Every structure is written in structure tokens, then in C-alpha cells.
Amino acid sequence: MASQSTSAPAALGIALRGLVALAVAMGIGRFAFTPQLPLMQADLGLTLAAGGWLAGANYLGYLVGAVLAGRHGASATGLMRIGLCAVIASTAAMALPGPLAWWLLVRFIAGVASAWALVGTATLTLARLAQLGRPRLDVVVFAGVGTGIALAGLLCHAGALAGLGAATLWLALAGLALAGTFCALAGERRTPAQATEAADARRLVLCYGLFGFGYILPATYLPAQARLLLDDPALFGWVWPLFGLAAVLSVLGTNLLTRWPRRHAWAAAQLVMALGLVLPTRAPGLASLAVAALCVGGTFMVITLLGLQEARTQAGADARRWMAVMTAVFAIGQLAGPLAANLLQTIGLTLDAALWLGAAALLLSSLLLIVPFRPAPETP
């Protein structure tokens, strides 16, 4: 039996990963359809009766999944992994156009998947918490259901306020499920060295996601910003080509940064990008827009390359998986950027406020990169 001092952090980690798993399985796999139904009615003409059939297909799938999960020989770990992955896939599949029969099949699969993930997660986490003498943390695990419902509801509400369609929000929900699944499955038993590698890689993932959030704002709005600030199309039309040219030249010059520690070069590039975000807000005009295009266009591919190189170094043998995680979280940051900009505008703020928020995300990412990473303990 582990000592009280060593078992407490381990037990809390197990409980929190269980919480995230149930948030994905139930909050998204089971109940995300509820806040999506009004949007599907508005966007796709889905009738209330059809919505009832889709909900029923999910309930039937949940029943079938629960029965299959109870069959002899089903592995708890396998049920959890397969269930969570199937939730991601079925959520993304709801964004595809098709007849009602297609959506009925997808919602049925989502029901099966959520039951498998629930049974697998509960079996695995409750047993581990009992082994560590922490059964009271079971309540933390099952708080994941309400957490997932709340997060999915907030995402759909924010998307509706921002004018996003149901298909876009199904993809955003799938991205949220993907991020949650990686967090939930990140707790496999590891050696101390592997655990440190994973902790360092998770910090890189966060930094890369913040980069995605900050970068996408100028990458989305820079031409529109130029059009607002400049009346002459012959002038504002040059901003985006300048952005692309800077991206090409920056990649060609990346090898010049090898004299710096890679994370420091990454952080410095993000500071340059942050300058490009806020400069047009403080000094509107052609010169500031041109500098912004150079600052952002000249760094975003450099940061992309440095980030993936650093993941390869920090994650060791698990590099491929962590690169995939970083790419997924970057995509989530890209989705969150325009959403945040639209939400700020709905409460009366301007695009400038969103650009300052993006710059703050880049500054936070740079700070996290500069703080020293923990060295992995030597393997005896």
C-alpha cells in the first residue's frame, strides 16, 4: 500500500483524468446534441420529431453499449480507449451533410461509445482509487458528467452568439473531445523519466495551443484590418502577399537560429509576433500594417517548426503522439481565436481588444517556455 503522502497526488491525478474522461463520454457523447438541436433546426430545417428520433437512437446505442460492455472478457482499459475515440469520431461525423438515416447511425454509435467509455472509466478509476485508499475521490470522477454538459453547453452558446453554424460547432465539440481524450489517457503507468518527459511535453502542448490562439487572429483579420485603416485598395491589397513572402523567407532562415536554445528562439519569435498584433492598434497606418505582416508572417512558420522539433526532443520515443496532440491543440486554439473575437465584439469591444488578448496569450506562452523544464531522472 502506498504511503499517504505519496498516494494523495497520484489519486487526485487519477480522479481528475476520470473526470475528464466522463466529461467527454457523457457531456459530449451523450448530451451535446441537446444544445445543438436548436442550431440544427435553424441551419438544416431539422424537425422536432426528427430530433426526437436522433435522441432515441443515442439512447438505444447507450443501452446496447452497456449490454456489450458487461460481456465477459471486455477490458476496462480497452473500453475506455475505444469509447473515447469513438466519441470523437462520431461527434465529428455529425458535421457531415447527409440523410436522416446517416445521423441516426452516428448518434447510435455515439451512444454505444459513451456507454463503453463510462463503464471502462468507472471500472478503472474506482479500482485504482480504492487501491490507493482514496475512495472518497470517486465523487470527483463523476463530477465529470456535469462538467462536460456545462462545457459543451457554453461552447454551443458562445458559437451561436458568434453566428457559427451547427456543423462548425460539431467540429469544435470534436476538437474539445480530442483534447479531453488525450488528457484522460495521459496517465498510463510510466517510469519517473517517462513521467517527466510527459510533463514537459504537456507544457509544450499548452504553449503551442496558446500560439495557435494568438497567431490565428492576425492571420484571419489582417486584410480586413488593412481595409478598415486604408481606403486605397492598391495599398491594403499588398498586406497579405507581404505576409506570405515573409513566411517563405523566415523558413529559409530558420537555421540561423541554431545558436540559441530552441525554446528561447521559440519564445523570442512569439514576442515578435505579439508586437505585430498590437502595433496597428497603437499606430494605425500603412507602415504599421506592413510591419505587422512581417512580424506575424515572418514568425508563424518558424514557431511551427521549432515547436515540433522541441516536441521530438522532449517526448523521446513518444514524440509522434505528442506531435499529434500539439497539432490538435493548435487547431483548438485556432477555433477559439475567432470565437473570442466575435464574443468580445458582441459585448461592445472592438477587434483591437481581441488582438491584445492574442498578444497576452503569446506572452504567456513565451514565459512558460523560458521557465526551465525539469530534467528527466536517470534510469538506474
Q: Is residue 284 part of a domain?
A: yes
Closest CA to 211 of 364, 354, 90, 42: 364
d(CA 360, CA 95): 32
User: Is residue 377, in this structure, part of any structural domain at all?
Assistant: no
Averaged confidence pLDDT in the chain: 81
pTM of the model: 0.58
Domain annotation covers residue 122: yes
Q: How many domains does the chain divide into?
A: 2
Whether 112 contacts 68, CB under 8 Å: yes
Report the residue count for the chain. Answer: 380
Residue 33 sits in the same domain as residue 124: yes
Q: How far apart are the first and last CA of the chain?
A: 23
- Name the pLDDT band for 238 (thresholds 50, 70, 90): low
Domain C-terminal end among 144, 170, 189: 189
Q: What's the whole-number mean pLDDT along residues 85-97?
A: 89
119-143 confidence digits (pLDDT tens): 888 888 888 888 888 888 888 888 8
Domain boundary among the residues 189, 208, 240 is at 189
161/260 same-domain check: no
Q: Do the domain assignments include residue 378?
A: no
User: What gap in Å lies between CA 183 and CA 144, rounded to an integer?
Assistant: 13
Q: Are residues 41 and 107 in the same domain?
A: yes
The domain spanning residue 126 has which CATH number?
1.20.1250.20
- For residues 138 and 217, membership in a common domain is answered with no
By the 8 A CB rule, do 354 and 341 touch? yes
Region at 73 (left for phi over 0; alpha for psi -120 to 50; beta for the rest): left
1 — pLDDT class (breaks 50, 70, 90): very low
Range of the domain at 334: 198-370
In a domain, 244, yes or no: yes
Same-domain status, 14 and 50: yes
Instruction: Quote the pLDDT of residue 84.
Output: 93
My answer on whether 100 and 235 are in the same domain is no
Q: Tell me, yes or no, whether 167 and 238 share the same domain.
A: no
Mark whether 139 and 236 lie in a shared domain: no
Rg of the chain over Cα atoms, rounded to whole angstroms, equals 23
The DSSP line for 36-90 is HHHHHHHHH---HHHHHHHHHHHHHHHHHHHHHHTSTT--HHHHHHHHHHHHHHH
Residue 287 lies in a domain: yes
Task: Read off the pLDDT of residues 190-221 as tens digits, 9 standing for 90 and up.
Answer: 555 555 566 687 788 889 999 989 988 887 77
Q: Are 61 and 180 in the same domain?
A: yes
Q: Pick from 189, 206, 235: which residue ends a domain?
A: 189
Residue 142 lies in a domain: yes
